[in-house]
Amino acid sequence: MHTRWLAALLFLLTTIGAAPRAEDTARRGALVERGRYIVLVGHCNNCHTAGYMQAAGKVPEQQWLMGNPLGWRSRSGTTYASNLRLFFANLSEDGWIKVARTIETRPPMPYWSLRDTSDDDLRALYHYIRSLAPLGTPAPAFLLPDREPPRPYHQLPDLS
Q: Is the pLDDT of residue 12 over 60?
A: no
Residue 15 or residue 83, greater confidence: 83
Residue 18 or residue 141, greater confidence: 141
Q: State residue 18's pLDDT score.
A: 57
Q: pTM (2 decimals)?
A: 0.83
Give the model confidence (pLDDT) of 78-123 as tens digits.
999 999 999 999 999 999 999 999 999 999 999 999 999 999 999 9
What share of the chain in percent tops pLDDT 90? 79
Q: Is the pLDDT of residue 9 over 50?
A: no
3-state secondary structure the chain: CHHHHHHHHHHHHHHHCCCCCHHHHHHHHHHHHHHHHHHHHCCHHHHHECCCCCCCCCCCHHHCCEECCCEEEECCEEECCCEHHHHHHCCCHHHHHHHHHHCCCCCCCCHHHHHHCCHHHHHHHHHHHHHCCCCCCCCCCCECCCCCCCCCEEECCCCC
Q: State residue 26's pLDDT score.
A: 85
- How does the average pLDDT of the chain come out, rounded? 90
Q: Is the pLDDT of residue 57 over 60?
A: yes
What share of the chain in percent tops pLDDT 70? 86
